[in-house]
Amino acid sequence: MRVIIEPDYETASKWSANFVASRITSSGASESKLFVLGLPTGSSPLGMYKELIELYKAKKVSFKNVITFNMDEYINLPEDHPQSYHRFMWDNFFGHIDIPKENVNILNGNAPDLKAECTSYEEKIKKVGGIDLFVGGIGPDGHIAFNEPGSSLSSRTRVKTLTYDTIVANSRFFDGDVNKVPKRALTVGVKTVMDAEQVLIIVNGHNKARALRHAIEEGINHMWTISALQMHPQGIIVCDEEAAVELKVGTAKYFKDIESANLDPATLLKS
């Protein structure tokens, strides 16, 4: 696992955006071989999306040959609801770049047959050759996508009931009213994410510090589903100093030392 500890949210977002852009541009993606990108919603990736839009405007990256799969979506929330993940993605990212509409995949939380929707999502990912890079965030309880504590680490796309902790955490987007937050969601599984060739997780802010410690310093445990990343051959965590406060001094120093010797992919697109 690589752990990139950046001074703050802005630099962590820049690092992530530059990494994603450099992966796309160096992949040799074409109309016949699209780059397959998994994407999250939430506040964590917002800075990265802003940076990616800037890189697109500066002609440093194009999304013409990119196909995306989002992690999750609420059940029974209209697609045009301000807090639906469909709306989030078009407002904050897709609406500002050159991705073809037909290359955007987001789970349909209003599908008549939710189980069939999940099965066909997995099949579509398989059909395009699997995900090249899955970008994610985590909840304060260490969940990835909507794989709440106790989710199987071999799980695939399915319906999940949200924990009260997640409902409270996400109520900030629903006028602070827990009753307005949908209680169920469709989500890719832990295994769906871990099957990607590379996984990049953005972790920022003090309220994620405990989860980050569990992800990096504790064992693999279904109560902290992000800890499955320890088994991934190419897992990367990009965090800010605030999220790193619960790491041991020695752990943080170790990862910083390693990274200072690395050719930083985040610098590749600068200049």
Q: What residues act catalytically? A: 72, 141, 143, 148
Length of the chain as a residue count: 271
Does 88 sit near ligand GLP (CB under 6 A)?
A: no
Phi, psi of 33 (to 5 degrees): -135, 90
Tell me the residue nearest to ligand GLP as measured from the CB: 42
State the binding string over 104-143 for ligand GLP (x if CB under 6 A, else -).
---------------------------------xxx----
Least distance in angstroms from the C-beta of 139 to ligand GLP: 4
Least distance in angstroms from the C-beta of 184 to ligand GLP: 12
Judged by CB under 6 A, which of 13, 16, 157, 166 binds ligand GLP? Answer: 166
Both tokens of 242, joined, read 């605030």
Both tokens of 137, joined, read 């965030």
Nearer to ligand GLP, 29 or 240 (CB): 240
Nearer to ligand GLP, 9 or 35 (CB): 9
Least distance in angstroms from the C-beta of 190 to ligand GLP: 12
What is the DSSP-derived secondary structure letter of residue 102? Answer: G
Judged by CB under 6 A, which of 36, 61, 67, 72 binds ligand GLP? Answer: 72
Residues in region 180-209 near ligand GLP by CB under 6 A: none
Nearer to ligand GLP, 43 or 234 (CB): 43
Task: Give me Rg for the CA atoms of the chain.
Answer: 18
The SS3 call for residue 10 is helix
Within 10 A of 97 (CB to CB), how many other CB atoms are there?
17
Q: Say which residues have a Cβ less than 8 Å from residue 133's Cβ, sequence separation at least 6.
A: 20, 23, 35, 36, 37, 38, 196, 197, 198, 199, 200
Measured distance CA(61)–CA(96) in Å, rounded: 13
Cβ(132)–Cβ(35) under 8 Å? Answer: yes
State the binding string over 27-46 for ligand GLP (x if CB under 6 A, else -).
-------------x-xxx--
> Residues binding ligand GLP: what is the number (CB under 6 A)?
12
Judged by CB under 6 A, which of 67, 71, 186, 216 binds ligand GLP? Answer: 71
What's the number of CA atoms in the CB half-sphere (13 Å) around residue 22? 14
Strand partners, 161: 184
Least distance in angstroms from the C-beta of 40 to ligand GLP: 5
Strand order in the sheet with 158-161: 72-74, 184-187, 158-161
State the binding string over 137-156 for ligand GLP (x if CB under 6 A, else -).
xxx-----xx----------
State the binding string over 222-241 for ligand GLP (x if CB under 6 A, else -).
--------------------
- Report the amino acid identity of residue 204: N
Using CB under 6 A as the criterion, which residues of the chain lie in contact with ligand GLP when the complex forms?
40, 42-44, 71-72, 137-139, 145-146, 166
